[in-house]
Structure 1
Amino acid sequence: MTRHVEPRCPLRPADKCSLCHPGADGPHNCGLVYLMMNDDELRELYAEGRRHAREGGSGA
């Protein structure tokens, strides 16, 4: 018996992958995720926002 796992969007962790990038079939080949994670400055800003949200801040 296999379970179906719903992929989550790495950029919007509370949401399922909505396949918002044409041709993507999950986060593993999403162009938007690729661009975000390969931009050092943008990736650091994103990580900072997630840290802030985890600590009880209002941003994500």
Structure 2
Amino acid sequence: MARHVEARCPLRPADKCSLCFPGADSPANCGLVYLMRDDPELQELYAEERRRAREGRIGA
């Protein structure tokens, strides 16, 4: 039996992909995801936020 997998937003991992970027049909072709992944400064900010979130979950 085929299983439906719900795509998650790489920019907001707690949320499912809402197709918020016009023309996107998944995170794989989302312009916002592309812009974030193509910008080294945004990549570092995103990585730092993910580290903080992980530490918060572990410390709680």
Q: TM-score with structure 1 length normalisation?
A: 0.91
Determine whether 1:18 maps to 2:18. Answer: yes
Aligned to 1:49: 49
| Aligned-residue offset at 1:33 | 0.1
Q: Counterparts of 2:21 and 2:51 in 1: how far apart (Å)?
A: 26
| More helix as a share of residues | 2
Flag structure 2 segments of 5+ consecutive residues without an equivalent.
Answer: none
Q: Counterparts of 2:15 and 2:46 in 1: how far apart (Å)?
A: 16
Q: TM-score with structure 2 length normalisation?
A: 0.91
Aligned length: 57
Aligned to 1:37: 37
Instruction: Give me the CA root mean square deviation.
Output: 1.1
Aligned to 1:5: 5
**Letter in structure 1 aligned against 2:25:** D
| Aligned-residue offset at 1:53 | 1.1
Aligned to 1:27: 27
Give the 3-state SS of the residue equivalent to 2:56 in structure 1.
Answer: coil
Structure 1 segments of 4 or more deviating over 4 A? none
Matched residues, percent identical? 79
